Amino acid sequence: MKIKTSKSIIYLKEYNNNKEIPFIFLHGFSGTSSSWINIINKHNKFSYSIDLPGHGKSTFVDISTEYTINDWCNELYMILNELSLKKINLCGYSMGGRLSIAFAHKFPEKINSLLLESTSLGLNESEVRSKRYYKDLERADEINKDLKSFMDNWEENPLFINQKKRNVKEWQIQANERRNHNPKQLSKALMAFSPSNMIYYDKPFQEFNFPIHVINGSGDDKYIKIGREMIRLNKNTKQYIIEDAGHNTHLENPDMFLDVLNQNIYE
């Protein structure tokens, strides 16, 4: 289904509708709602997967109009109300995790639990934030010039380098999807959701009064450390380490990701 909001048209897909509190799955940068389909089908719970604005079938209404993380939070809130969803289990990967944190900060009453896979709280230094802003501007320009070339380079990032050999079938599906994005839409999404354009959520994170589940890959040292910091900040946080996985644990080791999801979190 598609839902039109003030600044975007959002595509989402519903699975296994029942009276349970649903899971809302948010993908990472350059992913789509189908990035989660393997997990959703095996998890077999009431769920929605969403194409974030500028990704897949979700589009910004006007490329030239400013769009912020705050806009995203307001639009997701509107969508949940239109679907008559009072509470959700919000699950976000990487960029989708940062958007989940932002939403949970603005609308904590909607959150039953928060699941953060390979996610940060943002950037905590203005100098680092400024450097990231200009780096993302360069990336946005590269996307507009040659999306395929950008994705070829993107997939060589050390965070993603082992995904292909660990799950080549799913990796190839997602690699094809990455190259089918609208470059103008995707480059706008990159800037709108850049960590350079969000606050550092350490203080809001401390106030979260619901279960928080942090999932990291055993080979992703940077985000394991970030996960430990989340535990320090909030006593409601638990961290789970997925073996034989890097940044994208639900792609690289989906069976163990599901084990964590089913046995330790929402059993």
**pLDDT per position as a tens digit, 243-267:** 999 999 999 999 999 998 887 665 5
Cα 27 from chain centroid (whole Å): 4
Residue 111: which of 69, 70, 71, 76 has the closest Cα?
76
pTM above 0.85, yes or no: yes
Phi, psi values for residue 15, rounded to 5°: -135, 140
Instruction: Assess contact for 82 and 3: CB atoms under 8 A.
Output: yes
The tens digit of pLDDT for each residue in 37-50 reads 999 999 999 999 99
Average pLDDT over residues 80-105: 98
Give the alpha-carbon dihedral of 4, 93, 256, 35, to 10 degrees. 40
The 10 Å Cβ neighbour count of residue 157 is: 9
Q: Residue 196: pLDDT band by 50, 70, 90 thresholds?
A: very high
Per-chain mean pLDDT for the chain? 95
Residue 24: which of 135, 120, 141, 103 has the closest Cα?
103
**Close Cβ partners of 179 (under 8 Å, ≥ 6 residues apart):** 147, 148, 151
pLDDT at site 175:
85
Instruction: Assess contact for 236 and 212: CB atoms under 8 A.
Output: yes
259 or 103: whose pLDDT is higher? 103
The tens digit of pLDDT for each residue in 129-171 reads 999 999 999 999 999 999 999 999 988 887 777 887 788 888 7
Q: For the chain, how many residues are written?
A: 267
H or E stretch covering 119? none
The single-letter DSSP state of residue 11 is E
**Close Cβ partners of 26 (under 8 Å, ≥ 6 residues apart):** 50, 52, 90, 91, 92, 93, 96, 97, 99, 100
All structural domains of the chain, each given as residue ranges with its CATH number in brackets, are 2-265 (3.40.50.1820)
